A and B are shown apart, each in its own frame.
Chain A
Amino acid sequence: MSLTPLKAYLAGVASVAALLLVGSATFVLSGWYPMGADEHHHPLTYKLITVLRERSIERAASDIVVPKDLDSPDRLLAGGADYNDMCASCHLKPGKNESDFSQGLYPSPPNLTQISMAPNAMEKADQRRFWIIKHGIKASGMPAWGPTHDDERIWNMVAFLQRLPELSQQQYQILTARGE
């Protein structure tokens, strides 16, 4: 029998699709994929995931309204204490450059004492940080804090993150201490 060109073309597409399907299923079910956190992605894969993450967050965070009073001492104190309790183990603090988490997690948690924002990029950075803290980042060590913390508490931490990179160890200690 002879196929019309269209039918031949469709048959070709179908067999390539079937091959891809069988190939992916074999890959997934074979167990060949290295799942360990100490086995890093190919740089290209990592780049792709990063772009995916940033585009997704940028879109989702673009409507968030940043409070006008982030630069208030009360927010710094409340956010600082929470940061020290909940975040410093992964994101570090002045005088501490590594932890078990910062070394063992992959992707590794960025050192937030070293990421400062230019004033003109501040609003976008605040939106982005608020979104990340509230919702977390899927399949990374970054938890969603939204289910257990209200927006105000999250904004307090965003406020603290603005100033964190310039704090000395002493300033950090005073701002984050829970006791008087």
Chain B
Amino acid sequence: MNRSKWITVILAPAALISVSTWAHEPSEHMKTGEKADCSAMHDMDHSKMDMNDPVMQAMMQKCMHQNHGEAKGGEKQNAEHSGNGRPPSNAKADEHSHNH
């Protein structure tokens, strides 16, 4: 009993500390992080996209894998939210259908 008590006393803070250290590692976030909602990219006016703009390049980079790898079904679902070209009023609602 005494021994397990000691283990708790030492391990509990240790666990807490190491958890807060993980928070700094980008790779740890990857597993829980939400997915980029690339459906918005498809609805954008392609003629107005400036391919020299780093923001656009970053978005392309992020969405490249999805464009090739994913079935079209998930993207269609979301198209109605952003059909008028405006950002969805409730982004959270959108994210659910795309998570994992």
Query: What is the interface of chain A, defined by CB distance below 8 A to chain B?
Result: 71-74, 76-78, 80-82, 85, 94-95, 148-149, 163, 166-171, 173-175, 177-180
Contact = CB atoms under 8 A, between A and B. Distances in A.
Contact of B29 (A149, A175, A178, A180): A178
B65 A170 contact: no
B26 interface: yes
A170 B40 contact: yes
Given A149-B24, A170-B40, A179 B33 contact: yes
B45 to A, nearest CB: 13
Given A85-B29, A169-B87, A175 B58 contact: yes
B26 A78 contact: yes
Nearest to A163: B55
A37 to B, nearest CB: 24
Contacts of A180: 35-36, 62, 65-66
Contact of A178 (B34, B61, B63, B88): B34
Contacts of B38: 174
Nearest to B91: A169
Contacts of A174: 36-38, 40-41, 59, 62-63
| Shortest beta-carbon contacts, A-B, top 9 | A178-B33, A169-B87, A170-B40, A73-B58, A177-B36, A179-B35, A73-B57, A76-B58, A178-B29
B77 interface: no
Interface of B: 23-24, 26, 29-30, 32-38, 40-41, 54-55, 57-59, 61-63, 65-66, 82, 87-88, 91, 95
A29 B41 CA distance: 61
User: Which of A73, A74, A166, A168: most chain B CB closer than 10 A?
Assistant: A73
Nearest to A69: B54
7 contacts: A73-B54, A74-B58, A77-B62, A170-B37, A170-B87, A177-B35, A180-B36
Contact of A95 (B23, B34, B37, B87): B87
A167 B58 CA distance: 12
Contact of A179 (B34, B61, B82): B34
Given A78-B26, A149-B24, A73 B37 contact: no
Contacts of A71: 54
B33 to A, nearest CB: 2
B52 to A, nearest CB: 10
B70 to A, nearest CB: 10
Contacts of A81: 26, 29, 33
Contacts of A78: 26
Given A177-B35, A178-B33, A180-B62, 11 more contacts: A73-B54, A80-B58, A85-B29, A163-B54, A169-B88, A170-B87, A170-B88, A171-B55, A173-B95, A177-B36, A180-B65
